[in-house]
Amino acid sequence: MAVTEEVTVDVTETLAKFVVQHRGADLPGRVRHEAARSLLNWVGCAVGGSRHETVERALAALGEFSGPRVATVLGRADRLDIMLAALMNGITSHTFDFDDTHLRTVIHPSGPVASAILALAERQPVSGEDFLHAFVLGVEVECRIGNAVYPSHYDVGWHITGTTGVFGAAAAVGRLLHLNQEQMTWAMGIAATQASGLREMFGTMCKPFHPGNAGRNGLLAALLASKDFTSSTRSIEAPRGFANVLATGRRYEEITERLGDTWEILLNTYKPFACGIVIHPIIDGCIQLRTEHGIGPDDIRSVSLEVHPLVLELTGKKTPRKGLEGKFSVYHSAAVALIHGAAGEAQYGDDVVSDPVVVGLRDRVDAVVSESLHEDQARVTIHLRDGRTLERFVEHAVGSIDMPMSDADLEAKFRGLTDGILSAPETDALLQHCWTVGTLPDASVLAKMAVPGAKTAAG
Amino acid sequence: MAVTEEVTVDVTETLAKFVVQHRGADLPGRVRHEAARSLLNWVGCAVGGSRHETVERALAALGEFSGPRVATVLGRADRLDIMLAALMNGITSHTFDFDDTHLRTVIHPSGPVASAILALAERQPVSGEDFLHAFVLGVEVECRIGNAVYPSHYDVGWHITGTTGVFGAAAAVGRLLHLNQEQMTWAMGIAATQASGLREMFGTMCKPFHPGNAGRNGLLAALLASKDFTSSTRSIEAPRGFANVLATGRRYEEITERLGDTWEILLNTYKPFACGIVIHPIIDGCIQLRTEHGIGPDDIRSVSLEVHPLVLELTGKKTPRKGLEGKFSVYHSAAVALIHGAAGEAQYGDDVVSDPVVVGLRDRVDAVVSESLHEDQARVTIHLRDGRTLERFVEHAVGSIDMPMSDADLEAKFRGLTDGILSAPETDALLQHCWTVGTLPDASVLAKMAVPGAKTAAG
C-alpha cells in the first residue's frame, strides 16, 4: 500500500477537464438509452425500498435537522433538504441490493450519482438533457476510478460503491453547477478526502448507507468547490492521494485514456432477481421451464440443479427461516421461481419462506456442483410426476452482460418494485418519463412523480 | 495492509462498554482540569479562526441548506443546524493549526469531539458536568484508536485527526444521547465506515475540513445509532474493519487495556506559537531573552541560532513574502519573537512579513544545524551592538510535554486569539466559563458567549 509510483500524467486534472469540457451533443444514442435504462432501474429500486425499516430509522434520526425541504424522498411523502434527500434516496435504492452493477468493478453506479443530481435538480432547474449528460459523466468518473484500483482496492476491504461513488456524485453535480476546471479538480479532491465505506458493513444497514452517504458527500464536495473551497489538485494520483492510500495497485491509464471514446455505462447490468447474482442462472432456467411447460408445484416430483461451485458456497442454506435468509438459499430461490415465476423482493418475504407449498417444493430440490460451469451458467432438470423430464441449460443468465434484461424486462421489474406504493397509472406515467428523461424540460419531475398521489400530469 | 490477525478480544465492544458505563464521578481532578484547558484552548482557536476565508467559503456554499438554526458558529453571528455548526466549528478551530496536539499520535483531539458535543448541547440541555465527561471519553476513544494504529496508519497517508476523530465525536455524542451498549457499538461502526481524510490535503482548505467533517459525521453516526440504525459490532477489529483496512500494523491492547486507569487527555499539549512545532524552541528562547533584557531590534547586531536538523529542512525559508510562508521561516519567527515578544497568528500576517523592521532583523539572523540537539531544544545567541552577548539554551520548549503551557500562558494565548473579535469583557467572561465548564448548569453557554455582542451574563 505504501508503494507509490511517480506519475507523469495529471490524472485528476485530465479527468476534471473531461467532465468540464465534454459536450452533451457528443453522447452516442446507445449511451443515452443505457443511461435511461439505468435511471429507470434506479428509480424503481428507490421507490421499492422506500418503506423499509432502514430508511424509516434514518428519517427518524435525521429528519428533524433538515434545511429547506425542497427535495423528494422517492416513494414517500417526506420532503427534505437536498443533502438529506440524496442520503435517503441513495439508501433506499440500495436497500434491496437490487440496483445496477458495473460488473467489472462491482460498483453500483447509479445510487451515488442519481441521488445527488436528482436532489440538486429540485433546488435549481436542470433540463432533462443536462441531467442525463451529468449522470453519464458521473458514472464514467466513478467507474473509471474503480477500474484503476480494482481489484486491490476491493480486496483490501473497501466498499467500492461508497469510495468511488463520492467522486461520481461530485463530478456530476459539479458539471450541473458549471464548475470551471480548477473547481472541478477541487471537487474531486474534497470527494477523495471523504472516500469511505467498509465491506465489513455488509449485512447491516450501513451497506445501503454507503451509496447514500457518497451522494450526500459528493454533493457537498461540489457545492464547496463552487465557492472556491480549495483542495489538492492531484487527489487521485498524488503519493498520498486516493489511489495510493486506498489500494495496493493502480492503473492510471484506465482513467485517462480514451475519454469520450468509451463509456462505462454501456457495461452496466441490472439484476432481474432480488438476490445474489450467483443464483440468477438457476432462477432463469426455472422460470423458462415453468413458462414454456405451464407446470405447477404439484406436477413436480423433484428438481436437480447443477451449479457453479460458488453457488453452494454462498447460497447453500437448506432451510431458511427468514426472508433475508431465503436470499442465501438456492433451494428456496428455485422453488419460488417454479411456483411464482418470479424472484423479486416479494418472493423473499418472511411469509413466503414459511409458505407450506414453497417449503414442500424446496425440500424436493437437490443441487450438485459442476466445475465445468461458468458463473452465469447452470443446468436445471425437473422430474415430473407424470414421468417426463424437463431440462434447461442456461448459457448466460438473464441480466448478465451477454444476456441483458430487455427494456420490457426492466419495465416488469419496475412495476414489481412500485406495486403497492404507486398506483398503476402513476407507475405508467413515471416509467414513461424515465424513458424520455433526456427530453424533459425539467428533470426534477422524475422525483415529483415518484410520490404516491402526485399529479401524473406534473411533467 | 491485507495482513489480518485473529482477534480474541472484542475490541469495539470493550471500548463501547467503557464509554457507556464509565461514571463521571470517577474522573480524576487533574483529568478534569486538563479537559478544561483543552476546551479553553479549542474555544480560543475556534473564535480566532472564525473570520478566515476558509469558513467564509464553507458558509457561502452550505449555509442555505441549514436546518433549524439552533447552534452557534463560534465568533460569528451565524447560526446553523447542529451538523453544519459542528462542521464549521471544527473547521475554524483547526484553520490556524494552533489547536491541541496529542503528540504520541499527532491527533488534534479537541476539534472533532468538542465541535460535535457543543452543537448537540445547543439542541438539548447538557450539564457542564456531563459535557466535560463526554468530552474526556471522546478524546479517550479517538486517541486510543490512534495509539493502536499509529504510526503505520499515518505513514500510509491518513490524516489521523479526521479518521479517528469521527469515532471520538460519535462516542462523545453517543454518551450524551444515552446510547445503550449495542447502540454505542453501532455508533462506532457508522463512524468507522465514514473514517476518511488524506494527508495529501495538507496546505489546502481541506485540512481544517477534516476535523469539522469528523465532528459532523460522528454526530450523524450517534444520531443514527440512537434510532437503531444497525452497523457492524466489530468495526475496529474485524478482518475488513478499520484497523486492518486503514493501517498496516495494529496493537489492540492500546484500546482495551487499563481503560479508566489511564487518560490520554493528560498527554495533550498546546502550541504557544502559531507555526510548526519545530521552531518553538527558538521562539521560546528569543522571547525569554527579550523579556529578561528588555532589548529591542535596534539593540541587536546579529542573532545566531543552533537548531535541530529538522528545523532547516522544514522551515529554512530565508525570505518569506506571504504571511503563510513566514510560518516556514525560522528567521522570520526569531525576528518577530524578538520584536513583538510573541509569535501568534498576528505575527504571521502579510503585513508583518514585509514590515521593514522585521525584514531588517530577519536578515541579521543566521542558523546552523546541531546534531546533538533534541527536537524541543535550541540555542539562541544574540550579539548586541554594545558588544555584549546574550545566550539561552532551551532545554524543553514551552508547550512541550515536559514544559507545558501554564494556565496563564493559555489565557494569554486565548486573549491573543479573540482580540479584535470579542471585547475584553466578553473574553474575560468566556475564559471564566471555560475554566468552570464542569460546574455550568448548561454547557451551551460556552457557545452562546463566544459570539460578539452576546450578553456576558448569559451563564
Answer yes or no: do A230 and B194 touch at CB < 8 A: no
Residue of B64, B123, B229, B248 best to disrupt the A interface, most CBs of A under 10 A: B229
Residues B113-148: tens digit of each pLDDT: 999 999 999 999 999 999 999 999 999 999 999 999
Distance of CA A349 to the CA centre of its chain: 21
- Among B235, B182, B210, residue whose Cα is nearest residue B111: B210
Q: Tell me, what's the pLDDT at A5?
A: 54
Cell reading at B56: 467564509
pLDDT at B232: 96
Distance CA A192, CA A194 (A): 5
- CA angle A347–A351–A356, rounded 5-degree value: 95
Phi, psi at B366, each rounded to 5°? -120, 155
Question: What's the maximum distance between 2 C-alpha atoms anywhere in chain B?
Answer: 74
Q: Residue A392 region, left (φ>0) first, then alpha (ψ -120 to 50), else beta?
A: beta
Positive or negative CA dihedral for B351, B352, B354, B356? Answer: positive
Cα–Cα distance, A426 to A433 (Å, whole number): 11
Q: How far apart are CA B152 and CA B131, in angstroms?
A: 32
- The alpha-carbon gap from B221 to the nearest alpha carbon of chain A, in Å, equals 10
Report the distance separating Cα A70 and Cα B112, nearest Å.
30
Q: What are the chain A neighbours of B204 within 8 Å (beta carbons)?
A: 189, 230-232
Which of A179, A132, A163, A164 is CA-nearest to residue A37?
A132
pLDDT tens for residues A303-338?
Answer: 999 999 989 988 999 999 988 889 889 999 999 999
Chain B residues closer than 8 Å to A82 by CB: 65
Measured at the CA of A12, the angle between CA A8 and CA A18, to 5 degrees, comes to 110
Q: Cell 499509529 identifies what position?
A: B150
**Whether the Cβ atoms of residue A308 and residue A377 lie closer than 8 Å to each other:** yes
Q: What is the pLDDT of residue B2?
A: 41
Alpha carbon distance, N-terminus to C-terminus of chain B: 50
Q: What chain B residue is nearest to A63 in terms of C-alpha separation?
A: B67
Phi/psi of residue B211, each to 5°?
-65, -35
Amino acid letter, residue A374: H
- Give A12's contacts in chain B (Cβ within 8 Å): none
Query: For residue B307, what is the enclosing H or E element?
Result: strand B300-307
Q: Residues 49..68 of B with a Cβ closer than 8 Å to A: which?
A: 54, 57-58, 60-62, 64-68
From A204, A227, A239, residue closest to B61, measured CB to CB: A227
CB pair distance less than 8 Å for A157 and B209: no
H helix and E strand count, chain A: 21, 8
pLDDT digits over B82-97, tens only?
A: 999 999 999 999 999 8
Helix (H) or strand (E) holding A268: strand A268-269
Q: How far apart are the first and last CA of chain A?
A: 50
Instruction: Give the tens place of pLDDT for each residue, B331-381.
Output: 999 999 999 999 998 899 999 999 999 999 999 999 999 999 998 899 999
Say how far apart CA B166 and CA B80 lie, in whole Å.
Answer: 20
User: Quick one: pLDDT at residue B1?
Assistant: 40
Which of A184, A246, A176 shows the shortest CA–CA distance to A15?
Answer: A184
Q: How confident is the model at residue B199 (pLDDT cuts 50, 70, 90)?
A: very high
Q: Which residues of A touch B242 (CB under 8 A)?
A: 198
Enumerate residues 240 to 269 of chain B having a beta carbon within 8 A of any beta carbon in chain A.
240-242, 244-245, 248
Q: Is B68 left (phi over 0), alpha (psi -120 to 50) or beta?
A: beta
Q: Hey, what's the cell of A293?
A: 411447460
Q: Which residues contact A8 (CB under 8 A, 6 or more apart)?
A: none
* CB nearest B62 (choices: A192, A223, A231): A223
Joined together, the cell numbers standing for residue A143 give 467507474
**% of chain A surpassing 70 pLDDT:** 97
Residues 6 or more apart from A164 whose CB is under 8 A from it?
A: A105, A107, A142, A143, A145, A146, A195
CB atoms within 10 A of CB B11: 27
Kindly state the average pLDDT of the residues B310-324. 90
pLDDT for B5? 54
Q: What is the predicted pLDDT for the residue at B456?
A: 47
DSSP string covering A413-445:
HHHHHHBTTB-HHHHHHHHHHHHTGGG-S-TTH
What does the alpha-carbon distance between residue B337 and residue B329 come to, in Å, rounded to a whole number?
12
Chain B positions touching A201 (Cβ under 8 A) are: 189, 193, 231-232, 235
Phi, psi of B158 (to 5 degrees): -85, 140
- The DSSP bridge pattern shows strands A101-102 and A268-269 to be antiparallel
Decide: helix, strand or coil at residue A328: coil
Q: What CATH number does the domain located at B11-269 have?
A: 1.10.4100.10
**pLDDT value of position A1:** 40
Q: Tell me the pLDDT tens digit for each residue of B226-235.
A: 999 999 999 9
A192:B198 CB<8 A: yes
Asked if the peptide bond before residue A151 counts as cis, ω within 30 degrees of 0, the response is yes
Query: From CA B389, how far away is CA B380, in angstroms rounded?
Result: 10
Is the CB of A401 inside 8 Å of chain B's CB atoms?
Answer: no
Give the model confidence (pLDDT) of A114-143 as tens digits: 999 999 999 999 999 999 999 999 999 999
Q: Are A373 and A1 in contact (CB under 8 A)?
A: no
Q: Position A23: which residue type?
A: R
The candidate with the shortest Cα–Cα distance to A194, out of A230, A172, A218, is A218
Nearest to B190 among A206, A235, A238 (CB): A206
User: Where in chain A are all domains bearing CATH 1.10.4100.10?
Assistant: 11-269
Tell how far CA B392 is from the center of its chain. 29
Asked whether the beta carbons of B279 and B320 are under 8 A apart, the reply is: no
**Taking all residues of chain B, what is their mean pLDDT, rounded to a whole number?**
95
pTM of the model: 0.94
How many beta-carbon contacts under 8 Å exist across A and B? 181
Shortest CA distance from A195: residue in chain B: B196
Query: What is the spatial distance between Cα B204 and Cα A221, in angstroms, rounded to a whole number?
Result: 14
CB A314 within 8 A of CB A328: yes
B3 and chain A in contact, CB less than 8 A: no
Output the pLDDT for position A406. Answer: 96
- pLDDT tens per residue, chain A (459 residues)? 444 456 778 999 999 999 999 999 999 999 999 999 999 999 999 999 999 999 999 999 999 999 999 999 999 999 999 999 999 999 999 999 899 999 999 999 999 999 999 999 999 999 999 999 999 999 999 999 999 999 999 999 999 999 999 999 999 999 999 999 999 999 999 999 999 999 999 989 999 999 999 999 999 999 999 999 999 999 999 999 999 999 999 999 999 999 999 999 999 999 999 988 889 999 999 999 999 999 999 999 999 999 999 899 889 999 999 888 898 899 999 999 999 999 998 899 999 999 999 999 999 999 999 999 998 899 999 999 999 999 999 999 999 889 999 999 999 999 999 999 999 999 999 999 999 999 999 999 999 999 999 864 444
CB-based contact B193 A205, cutoff 8 Å: no
Query: pLDDT exceeding 90 applies to what percent of chain B?
Result: 92
Cell numbers that stand for B52 in this block = 478566515
- Does residue B381 contact residue B303 with C-beta atoms inside 8 Å? yes
What is the ipTM for the molecules in this complex? Answer: 0.93
Chain-chain contact of A192 with B210 (C-beta, under 8 angstroms): no
Phi/psi at B73 (nearest 5 deg)? -90, 110
Q: DSSP letters of B167-208?
A: HHHHHHHHHHTT--HHHHHHHHHHHHTT---BGGGTTSTHHH
Q: What angle do CA A58, A100, A16 make, to 5 degrees?
A: 90
Q: Which residues pair with A158 in a beta bridge?
A: A198
Interface test with B, best of A79, A196, A236 (most B CBs within 10 A): A196
Q: Cα(A297)–Cα(A340) distance, rounded to whole angstroms?
A: 10
Dihedral of the CA atoms B82, B85, B86, B90 (nearest 10)? 180
* Distance in angstroms (rounded) separating the CA atoms of residues B88 and B95: 10
Tell me whether residues B229 and A210 touch, CB distance under 8 A: no
Who's near A6: CB < 8 A, 6+ residues apart? Answer: none
CA dist B236 and A294 (Å) reads 53
Residue listed under C-alpha cell 453457488 = A311
Residue type, A219: L
Cα distances from B325 to residues A107, A272, A451, in angstroms, run 43, 59, 55
pLDDT for position B203: 86
Cα(B232)–Cα(A90) distance, integer angstroms = 20
User: For the domain with range B277-394, which CATH number is right: 1.10.3720.10, 3.30.1330.120, 3.40.50.10860, 3.40.50.150?
Assistant: 3.30.1330.120
Start and end residues for every CATH 3.30.1330.120 domain found in chain B: 277-394
Write down the pLDDT at residue B455.
64
CB atoms within 10 A of CB A45: 31
pLDDT (0 to 100) of residue A313: 86
Burial class (CB in 10 A: 0-12, 13-18, 19+), A30: exposed
* Residues of chain A positioned with their CB less than 8 A from the CB of B68: 64-65
Minimum-distance CB partner of B193 among A201, A240, A245? A201
Distance between B204 CA and the closest CA of chain A, angstroms: 5
pLDDT band at B3 (very low <50, low <70, confident <90, very high): very low
Q: Which three cell numbers mark A168?
A: 461520481
Please tell me the distance from the alpha carbon of residue A104 to that of residue A400, in angstroms, as a whole number.
12
Q: What is the CA radius of gyration of chain A?
A: 22
Q: What pLDDT score was predicted for residue B304?
A: 98
